[in-house]
Amino acid sequence: MKKIILVSFLAAFISLNLFSQDCFKYFPSDEGTSLEYTSYDNKDKPTAITLRTVLDKRNSGDSVIVDYQVASTPTNADTTITYKYKIACVDDKLLIDMTSYMNSSTYSSYPGMDIEVDGSDLEMPSNPTAGQALAGGDLVVRVINNGMPMITITSKIYNRKVAAVETITTSAGTFETVKITYDMDVTMGFIKTKGSAAEWYSEDYGIVKSENYDKKGKITSYEILTKIIN
Q: Say what the pLDDT of residue 104 is.
A: 63
The greatest distance separating any two alpha carbons of the chain, rounded to the nearest whole angstrom, comes to 68
Q: What residue spans define the domains of the chain? A: 2-228
| CATH fold of 2-228 | YmcC-like fold (2.40.360)
CB 37 within 8 A of CB 226: yes
Q: What DSSP element (H or E) covers 105?
A: helix 104-109
pLDDT per residue over 164-205, tens digit each? 999 999 999 999 999 999 999 999 888 999 999 999 999 999
Task: Tell me how far apart the alpha carbons of residues 228 and 155 are, in angstroms, rounded to a whole number.
Answer: 30
φ, ψ (nearest 5 deg) of residue 70: -110, 130
pLDDT per residue over 20-78, tens digit each? 456 889 999 999 999 999 999 999 999 999 999 999 999 888 889 999 999 999 888 78
CB 138 within 8 A of CB 155: yes
pTM metric for this prediction: 0.84
Task: Tell me how far apart the alpha carbons of residues 193 and 186 are, in angstroms, rounded to a whole number.
Answer: 5
Q: What is the mean pLDDT of the chain?
A: 85
Say yes or no to pLDDT of 141 above 90.
no
